[in-house]
Amino acid sequence: MTARIIIADDHPLFRSALAHAVGKVWEGAAIIEASSAAGARTALAEAAADALLLDLHMADSTGLSVLMDLRQDYPALPIVIVSASEEPRVAAAAAQLGAAGFIPKSSSLDAMREGLAAVRDGDLWFPETGEGQDDDLARIASLTPAQRRILAAIRQGMLNKQIAYELSISEATVKAHITAILRKLGVNSRTQAVLLAAKLDVDQPVADSAKA
Protein backbone atom coordinates (compact mmCIF):
# COMPACT_ATOMS: atom_id res chain seq x y z
CA MET A 1 0.00 0.00 0.00
CA THR A 2 1.37 3.41 -0.99
CA ALA A 3 2.28 5.63 1.94
CA ARG A 4 0.72 9.09 2.06
CA ILE A 5 2.90 11.79 3.62
CA ILE A 6 1.86 15.41 4.18
CA ILE A 7 4.46 18.18 4.36
CA ALA A 8 3.21 21.45 5.86
CA ASP A 9 5.73 24.28 5.52
CA ASP A 10 5.39 27.74 4.00
CA HIS A 11 8.83 27.73 2.34
CA PRO A 12 8.68 26.02 -1.10
CA LEU A 13 12.42 25.29 -1.22
CA PHE A 14 12.38 23.64 2.18
CA ARG A 15 9.28 21.63 1.23
CA SER A 16 11.25 20.36 -1.76
CA ALA A 17 14.15 19.34 0.49
CA LEU A 18 11.76 17.53 2.82
CA ALA A 19 10.05 15.85 -0.11
CA HIS A 20 13.44 14.56 -1.25
CA ALA A 21 14.14 13.14 2.21
CA VAL A 22 10.64 11.62 2.42
CA GLY A 23 11.10 9.97 -0.98
CA LYS A 24 14.24 8.23 0.28
CA VAL A 25 12.48 6.92 3.41
CA TRP A 26 9.03 6.09 2.01
CA GLU A 27 9.85 4.96 -1.52
CA GLY A 28 7.04 5.66 -3.94
CA ALA A 29 5.07 7.62 -1.34
CA ALA A 30 2.35 10.03 -2.33
CA ILE A 31 3.64 13.36 -1.05
CA ILE A 32 1.12 16.14 -0.45
CA GLU A 33 2.52 19.63 0.13
CA ALA A 34 0.71 22.34 2.11
CA SER A 35 1.80 25.89 2.87
CA SER A 36 -0.42 26.35 5.93
CA ALA A 37 -1.96 24.51 8.85
CA ALA A 38 -5.34 24.88 7.15
CA GLY A 39 -3.92 23.25 4.04
CA ALA A 40 -2.62 20.36 6.13
CA ARG A 41 -6.06 19.92 7.67
CA THR A 42 -7.65 19.89 4.21
CA ALA A 43 -5.23 17.17 3.11
CA LEU A 44 -5.95 15.15 6.25
CA ALA A 45 -9.71 15.47 5.68
CA GLU A 46 -9.35 14.13 2.15
CA ALA A 47 -7.64 10.87 3.12
CA ALA A 48 -5.71 9.27 5.96
CA ALA A 49 -1.98 9.97 6.12
CA ASP A 50 0.93 7.88 7.34
CA ALA A 51 2.79 10.92 8.70
CA LEU A 52 2.62 14.71 8.87
CA LEU A 53 5.77 16.83 8.74
CA LEU A 54 4.81 20.11 10.38
CA ASP A 55 6.48 23.49 10.62
CA LEU A 56 5.37 25.42 13.71
CA HIS A 57 5.64 28.83 12.09
CA MET A 58 3.29 29.46 9.16
CA ALA A 59 0.90 32.27 8.32
CA ASP A 60 -1.97 30.68 10.25
CA SER A 61 0.00 28.99 13.03
CA THR A 62 2.59 30.31 15.43
CA GLY A 63 3.80 27.87 17.99
CA LEU A 64 2.92 24.60 19.64
CA SER A 65 -0.83 25.22 19.77
CA VAL A 66 -1.15 23.86 16.22
CA LEU A 67 0.46 20.60 17.38
CA MET A 68 -1.97 20.34 20.30
CA ASP A 69 -4.97 20.90 18.04
CA LEU A 70 -3.86 18.34 15.45
CA ARG A 71 -2.93 15.83 18.14
CA GLN A 72 -6.44 16.22 19.58
CA ASP A 73 -8.15 15.63 16.22
CA TYR A 74 -5.78 12.96 14.86
CA PRO A 75 -4.46 11.05 17.90
CA ALA A 76 -3.00 8.16 15.87
CA LEU A 77 -1.20 10.31 13.30
CA PRO A 78 2.61 10.49 13.64
CA ILE A 79 3.47 14.20 13.59
CA VAL A 80 7.09 15.19 13.05
CA ILE A 81 7.94 18.78 13.93
CA VAL A 82 10.44 20.30 11.51
CA SER A 83 11.43 23.63 13.00
CA ALA A 84 13.92 26.46 12.68
CA SER A 85 13.79 26.77 16.46
CA GLU A 86 16.52 24.72 18.10
CA GLU A 87 15.80 25.66 21.71
CA PRO A 88 15.85 22.51 23.86
CA ARG A 89 12.62 23.58 25.57
CA VAL A 90 10.75 23.60 22.22
CA ALA A 91 11.82 20.06 21.32
CA ALA A 92 11.01 18.89 24.86
CA ALA A 93 7.60 20.57 24.71
CA ALA A 94 6.85 18.99 21.33
CA ALA A 95 7.65 15.57 22.80
CA GLN A 96 5.47 16.21 25.83
CA LEU A 97 2.57 17.34 23.63
CA GLY A 98 2.62 14.15 21.59
CA ALA A 99 4.85 14.71 18.57
CA ALA A 100 6.55 11.64 17.13
CA GLY A 101 9.75 13.48 16.33
CA PHE A 102 11.56 16.81 16.20
CA ILE A 103 13.97 17.61 13.37
CA PRO A 104 15.77 20.99 13.36
CA LYS A 105 15.79 22.66 9.95
CA SER A 106 19.55 22.98 10.21
CA SER A 107 19.85 19.17 10.05
CA SER A 108 21.64 17.57 7.12
CA LEU A 109 19.58 15.55 4.67
CA ASP A 110 21.17 12.39 6.07
CA ALA A 111 20.05 13.34 9.59
CA MET A 112 16.55 14.15 8.32
CA ARG A 113 16.32 10.78 6.61
CA GLU A 114 17.54 9.04 9.78
CA GLY A 115 14.89 10.77 11.88
CA LEU A 116 12.10 10.10 9.40
CA ALA A 117 13.12 6.44 9.11
CA ALA A 118 12.87 6.09 12.89
CA VAL A 119 9.34 7.53 12.86
CA ARG A 120 8.40 5.32 9.90
CA ASP A 121 9.47 2.31 11.94
CA GLY A 122 7.33 3.36 14.89
CA ASP A 123 10.05 4.93 17.02
CA LEU A 124 10.38 8.45 18.41
CA TRP A 125 13.10 10.82 17.28
CA PHE A 126 14.15 13.78 19.42
CA PRO A 127 17.44 15.55 20.12
CA GLU A 128 18.81 15.31 23.64
CA THR A 129 17.35 18.30 25.48
CA GLY A 130 18.12 17.75 29.14
CA GLU A 131 14.65 19.12 29.83
CA GLY A 132 12.14 17.44 32.13
CA GLN A 133 8.37 17.34 32.02
CA ASP A 134 6.73 20.76 32.28
CA ASP A 135 3.70 20.79 34.58
CA ASP A 136 2.46 24.05 33.04
CA LEU A 137 2.34 22.45 29.58
CA ALA A 138 0.41 19.52 31.04
CA ARG A 139 -2.14 21.97 32.42
CA ILE A 140 -2.46 23.74 29.07
CA ALA A 141 -2.92 20.40 27.32
CA SER A 142 -5.75 19.58 29.73
CA LEU A 143 -7.87 22.43 28.34
CA THR A 144 -10.72 21.53 26.03
CA PRO A 145 -10.63 22.79 22.41
CA ALA A 146 -13.21 25.46 23.29
CA GLN A 147 -11.15 26.59 26.28
CA ARG A 148 -8.01 26.76 24.12
CA ARG A 149 -9.83 28.95 21.60
CA ILE A 150 -10.89 31.30 24.37
CA LEU A 151 -7.38 31.36 25.82
CA ALA A 152 -6.04 32.24 22.35
CA ALA A 153 -8.55 35.09 22.15
CA ILE A 154 -7.49 36.34 25.59
CA ARG A 155 -3.87 36.33 24.38
CA GLN A 156 -4.96 38.56 21.50
CA GLY A 157 -6.31 41.06 24.02
CA MET A 158 -9.97 40.46 23.25
CA LEU A 159 -12.63 41.39 25.82
CA ASN A 160 -15.36 38.97 26.93
CA LYS A 161 -17.91 40.70 24.68
CA GLN A 162 -15.60 40.38 21.66
CA ILE A 163 -14.88 36.72 22.42
CA ALA A 164 -18.60 36.00 22.74
CA TYR A 165 -19.27 37.63 19.36
CA GLU A 166 -16.34 35.88 17.67
CA LEU A 167 -17.34 32.43 18.93
CA SER A 168 -21.11 32.97 18.73
CA ILE A 169 -21.67 32.23 22.41
CA SER A 170 -23.01 34.26 25.33
CA GLU A 171 -20.84 36.40 27.60
CA ALA A 172 -21.98 34.22 30.50
CA THR A 173 -20.57 31.17 28.71
CA VAL A 174 -17.31 33.01 28.08
CA LYS A 175 -17.03 33.90 31.77
CA ALA A 176 -17.72 30.29 32.77
CA HIS A 177 -15.01 29.07 30.40
CA ILE A 178 -12.51 31.63 31.73
CA THR A 179 -13.21 30.54 35.30
CA ALA A 180 -12.54 26.93 34.28
CA ILE A 181 -9.39 27.94 32.38
CA LEU A 182 -7.94 29.77 35.36
CA ARG A 183 -8.72 26.84 37.64
CA LYS A 184 -7.13 24.28 35.29
CA LEU A 185 -4.03 26.42 34.79
CA GLY A 186 -3.70 27.11 38.49
CA VAL A 187 -3.56 30.89 38.06
CA ASN A 188 -5.61 33.76 39.43
CA SER A 189 -5.90 36.21 36.56
CA ARG A 190 -6.11 36.55 32.78
CA THR A 191 -2.65 38.13 32.78
CA GLN A 192 -1.12 35.11 34.53
CA ALA A 193 -2.92 32.80 32.07
CA VAL A 194 -1.44 34.73 29.15
CA LEU A 195 2.07 34.53 30.63
CA LEU A 196 1.75 30.80 31.17
CA ALA A 197 0.36 30.22 27.65
CA ALA A 198 3.49 31.89 26.25
CA LYS A 199 5.15 28.49 26.76
CA LEU A 200 3.43 27.50 23.51
CA ASP A 201 5.45 30.09 21.60
CA VAL A 202 8.62 29.01 19.83
CA ASP A 203 10.36 32.28 19.00
CA GLN A 204 10.82 33.91 22.39
CA PRO A 205 11.97 32.89 25.88
CA VAL A 206 9.35 32.55 28.58
CA ALA A 207 9.50 33.10 32.30
CA ASP A 208 10.17 30.10 34.52
CA SER A 209 6.77 30.49 36.11
CA ALA A 210 3.71 32.56 35.27
CA LYS A 211 2.57 32.22 38.82
CA ALA A 212 5.53 33.97 40.44
Is the pLDDT at 212 greater than 50? The verdict is no
Class of the CATH-defined domain 135-200: mainly alpha
pLDDT number for residue 207? 45
> Which has more pLDDT, 5 or 60?
5
Where are the chain's structural domains? 4-120, 135-200
Which tens digits make up the pLDDT trace of 91-139? 999 999 999 999 999 999 999 999 999 999 999 999 988 888 899 999 9
Poorest-pLDDT segment among 84-93, 146-155, 197-206: 197-206
Mean pLDDT to the nearest integer, 79-93 = 92
Is the pLDDT at 210 greater than 70? The verdict is no
CATH H-level superfamily of 4-120? Response regulator (3.40.50.2300)
Q: What is the pTM of this model?
A: 0.85
pLDDT number for residue 67? 94
Alpha carbon distance 76, 78 (integer Å): 6
Which tens digits make up the pLDDT trace of 132-184? 889 999 999 999 989 999 999 999 999 999 999 999 999 999 999 999 999 99
Q: With the C-alpha atoms ordered 144, 37, 163, 182, is the resulting torsion angle positive or negative? A: positive
